[in-house]
């Protein structure tokens, strides 16, 4: 009697309680008759079935990133340029604030002007959920192109703003530039995860270091054009817009995705489910930790210069120590980038990331936060130029480490590359709130009484926030390890 054999092949992904549902591939052929379904055991028949199943084509495994190939290296270069033009440009807002306060927006208070920079930075992160889901849906290049056009156009619109027209600068620099940067910033970080796994932390750190270089170069460039060469502020801004346009064009040309086309047959990554991500306890605890850290992380970047000058430390050196995002205190020192913190963060965004590839992002980021918290409390002992410089280098290094390690930590929770953008978007959207309110809270705590600033309150507040964030990340790590997720995916924690 001839038999028609039934065979099946099932593709099952490793079980992960927090991963999105995976598809199952079944290949069913014509069944035998009812008599055959109850056929007695036949060793030869079973061997033939087994051999037949082995001969069937298996679905291709998900394509792994080729570590260190030319495409991956060019993608890091593109990320570097984008970070240079987005977050690096935001770091130069103090130069704009100085000019606006003393010239084109002298009719507004410094607090009113500072909201332009705060909104720009907030909008860079706030639309993260929408941008992240668009990235996972395959719209990386479209977002990059649109964001580049919007970012460059907004810079040229800033140069066209009329004197004493606050709303024009607010819309161009606060809203338009913020939205343009949001379309560039998160996708440029998420794309690295498609190209690197083993050395993902280091690759991310090198790309993110572009923001530190931008924080040093942009303000110096503006200062040299305006103060040294006699260029008008408007033309200097147009010059930065032209340079940004050139770098963003290069980034658009060299960056490539490595995700499988959506038309490709086979299992492929499932679409990320927002509900599953939001119910991931260890992930959301990490997001909470990042939110708490964001409340205190940037206090030295905004107020260390004010602290140094208020304590009588040499103004001639003070403006080199901190990033120029603080409110104007001495106009003569606000024309250049306050560079030492950013210079320290360049190394801080690379060297600890190299360690994170060996010991895991949790095991690196938690000590970085505890050290940063200790450095915050050490501000009480800063009484000399040397102390300020040493603090600037050390805090720039360790806080820069945290900033560059966060994307690597977030990506670690993804069950597949199709979740990278959404998870980063969720985290950045929530953290943007703390970044928006953190510095104003510190400023309110610093409020002067009878002409004297109360430094004790913001220093203690920010130090506690960083230490609390480290504790929260430790709790998240404990839960992540207890769930066995790192072992399941072969990841270090």
Residues 408-418, mean pLDDT to the nearest whole number: 84
pLDDT at 309 over 80: no
For residue 355, what are the contacts with CB-CB under 8 A and spacing of at least 6?
364
Convert the pLDDT of each residue in 434-471 to its tens digit: 988 887 888 888 876 776 788 999 999 999 999 999 99
- Give the total number of structural domains in the chain: 2
Q: Which pLDDT score, from 0 to 100, does residue 226 have?
A: 77
Residue 396 lies in a domain: yes
Residue 448 lies in a domain: yes
Residue 127 lies in a domain: yes
Q: Which pLDDT score, from 0 to 100, does residue 339 have?
A: 66
pLDDT at 350 over 90: no
Of the listed ranges 46-60, 65-79, 181-195, 368-382, the least confidently predicted one is 46-60
Q: How confident is the model at residue 25 (pLDDT cuts 50, 70, 90)?
A: very low
Residues 334-340, mean pLDDT to the nearest whole number: 49
Same domain, 327 and 413: yes
Q: Which pLDDT score, from 0 to 100, does residue 421 have?
A: 85
Same domain, 159 and 33: no
Alpha-carbon distance of 251 to 80, in angstroms, equals 9
Same domain, 151 and 106: yes
| Pair 322, 391: CB distance under 8 Å | no
Residue 63 lies in a domain: no
pLDDT at 10 over 50: no
Alpha-carbon distance of 7 to 53, in angstroms, equals 7
Same domain, 224 and 307: yes
Residues 148-152, mean pLDDT to the nearest whole number: 97
Q: In whole angstroms, how far apart are CA 444 and each of 21, 26, 113, 294, 461?
A: 47, 62, 17, 16, 11
Same domain, 87 and 45: no
Same domain, 18 and 76: no
Q: Token pair for residue 196?
A: 């690197």
Same domain, 92 and 11: no
295: CATH? 1.20.1250.20
The last residue of one of the domains, among 14, 37, 58, is 58
Q: Which pLDDT score, from 0 to 100, does residue 344 have?
A: 77
Residue 64 lies in a domain: no
The number of residues in the chain equals 493
Torsion-angle region of 282 (φ positive above 0: left; ψ -120 to 50: alpha; else: beta)? alpha
Same domain, 256 and 359: yes
Q: Which pLDDT score, from 0 to 100, does residue 325 have?
A: 39
Same domain, 29 and 77: no
Residue 326 lies in a domain: yes
pLDDT at 357 over 90: no
Same domain, 196 and 235: yes
Q: How confident is the model at residue 91 (pLDDT cuts 50, 70, 90)?
A: confident
Residue 65 lies in a domain: no
Q: Which pLDDT score, from 0 to 100, does residue 288 have?
A: 97
Same domain, 152 and 273: yes
Nearest of 442, 356, 340 to residue 397 by alpha carbon: 340
Q: Which residue has the higher pLDDT, 383 or 162?
A: 162
Q: Which pLDDT score, from 0 to 100, does residue 321 have?
A: 56
Q: Which pLDDT score, from 0 to 100, does residue 42 have?
A: 58
Nearest of 483, 213, 194, 479 to residue 344 by alpha carbon: 213
Q: How confident is the model at residue 44 (pLDDT cuts 50, 70, 90)?
A: low
Convert the pLDDT of each residue in 111-121 to its tens digit: 788 788 888 88
Convert the pLDDT of each residue in 165-205 to its tens digit: 999 999 999 999 999 999 999 999 889 888 888 888 888 88
β-sheet bridge partners, residue 452: 449
Residue 337 lies in a domain: yes
Same domain, 52 and 143: no
| Pair 7, 29: CB distance under 8 Å | yes
* Boundaries of domain holding 7: 1-58
Residues 462-485, mean pLDDT to the nearest whole number: 94
Q: How confident is the model at residue 231 (pLDDT cuts 50, 70, 90)?
A: confident
Q: Which pLDDT score, from 0 to 100, does residue 315 have?
A: 52
pLDDT at 477 over 90: yes
Q: How confident is the model at residue 320 (pLDDT cuts 50, 70, 90)?
A: low
Q: Which pLDDT score, from 0 to 100, does residue 249 have?
A: 97
* Among 54-58, 72-76, 355-359, the range of highest mean pLDDT: 72-76
Q: Which pLDDT score, from 0 to 100, does residue 84 have?
A: 95
For residue 42, what are the contacts with CB-CB under 8 A and spacing of at least 6?
none
pLDDT at 326 over 70: no
pLDDT at 482 over 70: yes
Residues 464-492, mean pLDDT to the nearest whole number: 84
Of the listed ranges 332-336, 363-367, 446-450, the least confidently predicted one is 332-336
Q: In whole angstroms, how far apart are CA 245 and each of 84, 170, 174, 248, 250?
A: 12, 21, 19, 5, 9
Q: Which pLDDT score, from 0 to 100, does residue 330 have?
A: 36
pLDDT at 379 over 90: yes
Q: How confident is the model at residue 23 (pLDDT cuts 50, 70, 90)?
A: very low
């Amino acid at each position: 009697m001839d038999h028609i054999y039934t065979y099946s092949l099932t593709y099952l992904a490793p079980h992960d309680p927090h991963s999105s549902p995976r598809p199952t591939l079944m290949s069913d052929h014509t069944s035998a008759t009812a008599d055959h379904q109850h056929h007695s055991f036949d060793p030869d028949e079973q061997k033939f079935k087994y051999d037949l199943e082995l001969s069937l084509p298996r679905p291709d495994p998900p394509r792994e990133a080729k570590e260190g190939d030319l495409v991956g290296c060019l993608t890091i270069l593109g990320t570097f340029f984008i970070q240079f033009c987005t977050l690096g440009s935001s770091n130069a807002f103090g130069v704009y604030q100085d000019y606006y306060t003393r010239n084109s927006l002298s009719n507004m208070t410094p607090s009113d002007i500072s909201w332009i920079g705060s909104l720009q930075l907030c909008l860079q992160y706030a639309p993260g959920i929408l941008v992240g889901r668009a990235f996972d849906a395959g719209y990386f290049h479209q977002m990059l192109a649109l964001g580049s056009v919007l970012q460059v156009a907004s810079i040229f619109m800033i140069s066209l703003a009329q004197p004493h027209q606050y709303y024009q600068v607010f819309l161009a620099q606060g809203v338009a530039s913020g939205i343009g940067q949001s379309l560039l910033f998160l996708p440029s970080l998420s794309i690295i995860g498609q190209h690197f796994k083993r050395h993902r932390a280091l690759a991310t750190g090198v790309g993110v270091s572009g923001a530190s270089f931008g924080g040093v170069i942009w303000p110096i460039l503006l200062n040299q054009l305006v103060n040294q060469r006699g260029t008008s502020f408007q033309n200097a801004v147009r010059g930065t817009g032209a340079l940004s346009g050139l770098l963003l064009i290069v980034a658009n040309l060299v960056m490539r995705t490595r995700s499988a086309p959506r038309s490709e047959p086979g299992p492929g990554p499932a679409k990320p489910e927002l509900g599953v991500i939001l119910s991931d306890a260890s992930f959301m605890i990490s997001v909470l930790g990042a939110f708490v850290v964001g409340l205190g992380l940037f206090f030295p970047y905004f107020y260390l210069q004010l602290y140094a000058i208020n304590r009588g430390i040499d103004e001639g050196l003070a403006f080199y120590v901190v990033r120029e995002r603080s409110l104007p205190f001495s106009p003569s020192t606000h024309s250049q980038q306050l560079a030492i913190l950013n210079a320290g963060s360049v190394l801080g965004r690379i060297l600890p990331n190299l360690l994170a590839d060996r010991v895991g992002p949790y095991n690196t980021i938690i000590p970085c936060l505890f050290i940063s918290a200790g450095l915050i409390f050490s501000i009480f002992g800063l009484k000399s130029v040397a102390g300020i410089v040493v603090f600037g280098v050390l805090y720039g290094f360790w806080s820069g480490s945290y900033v560059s390690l966060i994307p690597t930590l977030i990506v670690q929770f993804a069950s597949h590359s199709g979740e990278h953008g959404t998870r980063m978007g969720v985290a950045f959207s929530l953290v943007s709130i703390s970044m928006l309110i953190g510095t104003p809270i510190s400023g309110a705590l610093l409020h002067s009484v009878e002409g004297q600033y109360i430094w004790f309150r913001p220093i203690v507040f920010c130090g506690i926030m960083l230490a609390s964030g480290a504790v929260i990340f430790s709790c998240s790590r404990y839960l992540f390890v207890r769930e066995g997720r790192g072992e399941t995916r072969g990841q270090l924690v």
